[in-house]
Chains A and B, each alone.
Chain A
Amino acid sequence: MAEFLQFLFSGITVGAIYALVALGFSIIYNASHVINFAQGEFVMIGGMATVFVAAAGVPLPLAALAAIALAVAVGLAIERFGVRPARDASVVTLIIITIGASIFLRGMAGVLFDKNFHSLPAFSGERPLRIAGATLLPQSLWVLGTTLLVALLLWLFFGRTLTGKAIMASAHNRLAAQLVGIDTRHVLLLSFGLAGALGAIGGILIAPLAPTHFQVGVMLGLKGFAAAILGGLGSGPGAILGGLSIGIAEAMSAGYLSSAYKDAVAFVIILLVLFLRPSGLLGRAAIDRV
């Protein structure tokens, strides 16, 4: 039981990070029907930039804010200079543009930061809490708490504010949104910035638990994409559910089966789910207009 609880804790912690990445995918997908393969790089930027700004003597909270600001700026730049000029291109072309952006960012990170592993100090101490025989690191609580807070804020933003509703409206029907006076270009820019912030927050939260590196974004991005698809692309609650499920399944299979295939778990799950339910757990079936 203690063992199970232990695996559950680590699964939920990692799953929360996947959920943040998946939320970024979903927000951009909703606003533009683009899959932003550079999403994982936001996580990398969040972790790496915090490490380097903090190393320059800036207090940790300020360094974290600077890193988030940097990721937002990068997100805005990807939209403005990568995606917007190719608005009418095909899905494959847009996928390759964002992949080009991710390779570019990874290259820049390798040059501007370095190619070593780094980690951040835990936000509030390293002393683990004991719960029913299992241990829980305070940092895990930070991860969970922040993810919950972010999810709540997003829910309020999309449900209660005019800007949030405008984004939802353009996601449902771009033309109709334009007709009622929503500047859909603005919406796109905003969603890339938002996705950048979400990724960076994930990267900062996980850096004390798992070392960060200039290539850490690749796997995190792909698993976040898997989580977004698992929950149903474009669905907020789906992204969180997908992220947590993949995190928990990974931790359980690493604990009880074999850690060698831990990284494969997310993709095996996603293949099985897609075979059985092609539009994800919470997604709606796609209907073709003829």
Chain B
Amino acid sequence: MRANWRRPRTGGLLTLALAIALLPWFLPNAFFFDVAINVGLAAIVCVGLNLLIGYAGQISLGHAGFFGLGAYCSAILTQRYGWPPTLALLSGMLLVGVLAFAVARPILRLRGHYLAMATLGLGIIIAIVLNQETALTGGPDGMPVGRFAVFGLAIDGDWMWYWLVGGALLVTVWLALNLIESPIGRALRAVHGAEIAAATAGVDTTRYKVLVFVLSAVLASFAGSLFAHYTGFLTPDEATFFRSIEFVTMVVLGGMASVFGSVVGAAILTALPQFLTVFQDYEQVVFGLVLMLVMIFLPRGLVPSLLGYAARSG
């Protein structure tokens, strides 16, 4: 088959790879590297979450719980039990995967606001456990996390972290795009469009919803583990309801059912607070206002709205 460069799986992926490869040469200092790395980590979570929200049409207000659980798995297993970081990261993904799988069936039976409530509740329970199990997690004071290492190679410094996170993001986006264009992706879109019709046509709707839920949770856990090692210090704040909302907002801001939109949304919402600090006390006021305005005037999200605009005028 002839490669079609306008298709996201080829052209889009190449553009992203190019952007990731070129960006660090223009970053003036460590502060910008830090923002870029945090954008990458948030984008990994959002690409996964967008599969669930944008493609399967299921909302989750608790993904920071999975992010936090992965982060603390890495932190606890490496710090308190001396496990190698990669093994700890994989164990975190396994644990979160099993947890997500266990709750997925009863949770995904729910619709709309009931689903929002259940995922929100799950996330808050995780956050409270992380806050209260002081012996393991250090409680609200947080705990330090050691360096990340892949097969003995310690990841250290801005550049190494940048390439690790950038590479991980690229692989995540590639996986997501492949999933969307596979029969699973078609089935998901059918579930989103009309679940009963899809079920009538023989699509095992529950199976696909569970699959995407577990996948998005595991990706969040993966990003959480990397985040824990990258920042070197972890507090339960990373698992709060507010963080979950941030992830959902990134997805919706960038554009639902747009993989690249999630990357853009993650970039904007991660960078925004850094630059809003000039507003000092008014930071939250401005943040809330921006959130409302974008949702009111660009309800489809930035990337789909802009692409639509480009398609009409070009």
Interchain CA distance A264-B122 in the complex, whole Å? 10
Across the interface, do A264 and B114 meet the contact criterion of CB distance under 8 Å? no
Contact A86–B114 (Cβ < 8 Å): no
**B164 within 8 A of partner (CB):** no
Minimal Cβ-Cβ distance residue in A for B286: A107
Q: Is the CB of A225 within 8 A of B117?
A: yes
A149 to B188, CA, bound (A): 49
Q: Which residues of A contact B111 (CB under 8 A)?
A: 278, 286
Using a CB-CB cutoff of 8 Å, which residues 172-212 of chain B contact chain A? 194-197
Question: Which residues in window 115-146 of B have CB below 8 A to A?
Answer: 116-118, 120-122, 124-125, 128-129, 132
User: In the complex where A92-B59, A97-B292 touch, is A107 in contact with B284 (Cβ < 8 A)?
Assistant: yes
Residue on A with the closest CB to B110? Answer: A278
In this assembly, does A268 line the interface, its C-beta being within 8 Å of a C-beta of chain B?
yes
Asked, given contacts A103-B287, A106-B284, A264-B128, whether A229 binds B113 with beta carbons under 8 Å apart, the answer is: yes
Once the chains are docked, how many angstroms separate the CA of A111 from the CA of B120? Answer: 28
**In the complex, which range does the number of interface residues on chain A fall in?**
35 or more
Q: A96-B252, A97-B292, A103-B291 are in contact. Are A222 and B124 (CB under 8 A)?
A: yes
Residues of B within 8 A of A261 (CB): 128, 132
Q: A102 within 8 Å of B by Cβ?
A: yes
In Å, the complex CA distance between A266 and B282 comes to: 32
Query: B114 is contacted by which of A108, A222, A274 (Cβ under 8 Å)?
Result: A274
**Residue A110 at the chain B interface, CB threshold 8 Å:** yes
Residues of B within 8 A of A29 (CB): 113
B288's partner among A35, A89, A101, A266 (CB-CB below 8 A) is A101
- B252, chain A: closest CB distance, angstroms: 6
Which listed residue (A86, A91, A107) contacts B59, Cβ 8 A?
A: A91
- A107 to B, closest residue via Cβ: B284
User: Which residues of the other chain, A, contact B132 by a CB distance below 8 angstroms?
Assistant: 260-261
Main secondary structure of the interface of A (DSSP, over half): helix
Which residues of B are found within 8 Å of A278, using beta-carbon distances?
Answer: 109-111, 114
Q: Out of B249, B286, B296, which one reaches A85, CB within 8 Å?
A: B296
Q: Pick the residue among A105, A110, A280 that contacts B281 (CB under 8 A).
A: A110
Closest to A38 in B: B288
Q: How far is the CA of A99 from the CA of B295 in the complex (A)?
A: 11
Contact in complex: A91, B113 (CB < 8 Å) = yes
Judged by a CB distance under 8 angstroms, whether A281 is at the interface is no
Contact (Cβ within 8 A) B196 A290: yes
If A91-B59, A96-B252, A260-B132 touch, whether A267 touches B124 (CB-CB below 8 Å) is yes
- Closest residue on chain B to residue A86 by CB atoms: B296
B289 touches A104 (CB 8 A): yes
B262 → chain A, closest Cβ, in Å?
A: 14
CB–CB A279/B289 < 8 A: no
Query: Which residues of chain B have C-beta atoms less than 8 A from A275's C-beta?
Result: 106-107
- Is A263 in contact with chain B by the CB < 8 A criterion? yes
Chain A CB within 8 A of B12 CB: no
> Do B121 and A270 touch (CB < 8 A)?
yes
Q: Are B116 and A95 in contact (CB under 8 A)?
A: yes
Q: Chain B residues with Cβ under 8 A from A71's Cβ?
A: none
Q: Chain A, 248-265, contact with B by CB distance < 8 Å: what is the 0/1 string?
A: 000000000000110110
A270 to B107, CA, bound (A): 11
Q: Contact check, B117 vs A274: say whether CB atoms are below 8 A apart.
A: yes
Contact A111 B282 (CB under 8 A): yes
**A107 in contact with B121 (CB, 8 Å):** no
Contact indicator B285/A267 (Cβ below 8 Å): no
Contact of B241 among A82, A218, A233 (CB under 8 A): A218
Chain B residues in 8 Å Cβ range of A124: none
- What A residues does B249 contact at CB under 8 A? 96, 99
A271 near B288 with CB under 8 A, answer: no
Say yes or no: is B299 at the interface (Cβ < 8 Å to chain A). yes
Please tell me if B245 contacts chain A, counting CB pairs below 8 Å.
yes
Interface core residue of B59, B195, B291 (most chain A CB under 10 Å):
B291
Q: Complex Cα distance A58/B28, Å?
A: 55
Look across to chain A and name the residue whose beta carbon is closest to the beta carbon of B121: A267
> Chain A 203-226, CB within 8 Å of chain B: the 1/0 string?
000000000000000100010011
B288 near A274 with CB under 8 A, answer no
A111 to B110, CA, bound (A): 39
Q: What's the nearest-Cβ distance from chain B to residue A126, in Å?
A: 32
Q: Which of B107, B113, B197, B292 contacts A101 (CB 8 A)?
A: B292
Q: Are the CB atoms of B299 and A86 closer together than 8 Å?
A: yes
Contact partners of A97 in chain B: CB under 8 A: 291-292, 295-296
Tell which of B124, B125, B291 touches A99, judged by Cβ atoms closer than 8 Å.
B291
In the assembled complex, the Cα of A111 lies from the Cα of B285 at a distance in Å of: 9
Question: Across chains A and B, which 6 residue pairs bring their CB atoms closest together, nearest first?
Answer: A104-B288, A107-B284, A100-B291, A103-B288, A267-B121, A107-B285
| Chain B contacts to A: CB under 8 angstroms | 53, 59, 61, 106-107, 109-114, 116-118, 120-122, 124-125, 128-129, 132, 194-197, 241, 245, 248-249, 252, 256, 281-292, 295-296, 299
- A interface residues (Cβ-Cβ under 8 A, vs B): 29, 35, 82, 85-86, 89-93, 95-97, 99-108, 110-111, 218, 222, 225-226, 229, 233, 260-261, 263-264, 266-268, 270-271, 274-275, 278-280, 286, 288, 290
Q: What are 8 residue pairs bridging A and B, where the CB atoms are less than 8 Å apart in the complex?
A: A90-B256, A90-B299, A95-B61, A96-B252, A97-B292, A104-B288, A111-B281, A271-B125
